[in-house]
């Protein structure tokens, strides 16, 4: 008698919760957090206002639900977008493309992330989970010998996500659409630095040819954009 749900199937409840989240996402994205009324969200979900509060403690918590689900889905999408057999560099490019494209496509929801919990409490767990996709790629790169042992992953993670996020804002601000060169350029920069570190840690002097190729690819990529 303990494991028996006394009422209402799990599926039914989850469907309702999901429809509330759908409605909330729509209204929050349209009107922003302050502009969104819980009564509007309830109406959009075909539910009474009080029902929302059965599923979420308050409006902030509802926002956290929307944002959390978004990042969870993003994690799944990212994992699907990455080919397991590709090289580390290719995987980073796949993640970079996917990330930038997602930031642009769902700019409003991403923006809501920063309203979720300013810095109080534990940060959004789902965001941390997403970031691990990057960490896994890098770790595998090190394990495979494609990246030097001492690669500063934490630093590069901030470079990767920080740059993409600011690039997305810049693109939005200038009303431009997805631009693949942003990702390519970013990777050129990161690769330059990891290659450099790799050279030393492998203990062999890189040949002039190797160096020139690295630098040429960097310079080639950088040229395609300009300001």
Partner DNA sequence: CCCGTATAATGAATTAAACTCAGTTTAAAT
Partner DNA sequence: ATTTAAACTGAGTTTAATTCATTATACGGG
Residues that bind a second copy (CB under 8 A): 32, 34, 60, 107-108, 111-112, 114-115, 118-120, 123, 150-155, 157-159, 161-167, 170, 172-173, 182, 185-186, 188-190, 192-193, 195-197, 199-200, 205-206, 208, 211-212, 214-216, 218-219, 222-223, 225-227
Tokens of 117: 């919990």
CB-nearer residue toward DNA: 12 or 176? 12
Distance of closest approach, residue 162 Cβ to a second copy, in angstroms = 3
* Binding status of residue 1 toward DNA by CB under 7 A: yes
Distance CA 117, CA 42 (A): 23
Applying CB under 7 A, the span of 3-11, 79-87, 121-129, 176-184 interacting with DNA comes to 3-11
The residues in 52-91 that bind DNA, with binding defined as CB under 7 A, are: 53-54, 57-60
Name which of 134, 196, 180, 195 is nearest 161 in CA terms.
134
Tokens of 114: 């920063």
Applying CB under 7 A, the span of 44-52, 87-95, 127-135, 177-185 interacting with DNA comes to 44-52
Q: To 5 degrees, how large is the angle CA 153–CA 156–CA 157?
A: 80
Q: For residue 175, what is the DSSP state?
A: T
In which residue are the tokens 């929801």 written? 109
CB 18 within 8 A of CB 72: no
């Amino acid at each position: 008698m303990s494991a028996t749900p006394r009422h209402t199937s799990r599926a039914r409840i989850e469907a309702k919760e999901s429809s509330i989240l759908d409605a909330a996402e729509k209204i929050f994205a349209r009107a922003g957090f302050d502009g969104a009324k819980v009564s509007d969200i309830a109406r959009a979900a075909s539910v009474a206002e009080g029902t929302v509060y059965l599923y979420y403690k308050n409006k902030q918590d509802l926002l956290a639900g929307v944002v959390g689900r978004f990042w969870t889905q993003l994690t799944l999408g990212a994992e699907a977008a990455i080919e397991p057999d590709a090289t580390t560099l290719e995987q980073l490019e796949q993640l970079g493309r996917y990330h930038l494209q997602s930031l642009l496509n769902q700019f409003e929801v991403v923006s809501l992330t920063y309203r979720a919990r300013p810095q109080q409490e534990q940060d959004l767990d789902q965001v941390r989970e997403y970031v691990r996709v990057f960490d896994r790629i890098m770790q595998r790169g090190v394990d495979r010998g494609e990246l030097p042992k001492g690669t500063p992953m934490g630093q590069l993670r901030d470079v990767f996500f920080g740059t993409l996020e600011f690039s997305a804002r810049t693109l939005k601000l200038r009303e431009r659409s997805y631009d693949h060169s942003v990702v390519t350029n970013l990777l050129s920069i990161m690769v330059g630095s990891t290659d450099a570190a790799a050279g030393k840690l492998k203990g062999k002097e890189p040949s002039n040819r190797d160096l020139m190729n690295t630098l040429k690819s960097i310079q080639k990529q950088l040229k395609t954009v300009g300001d």
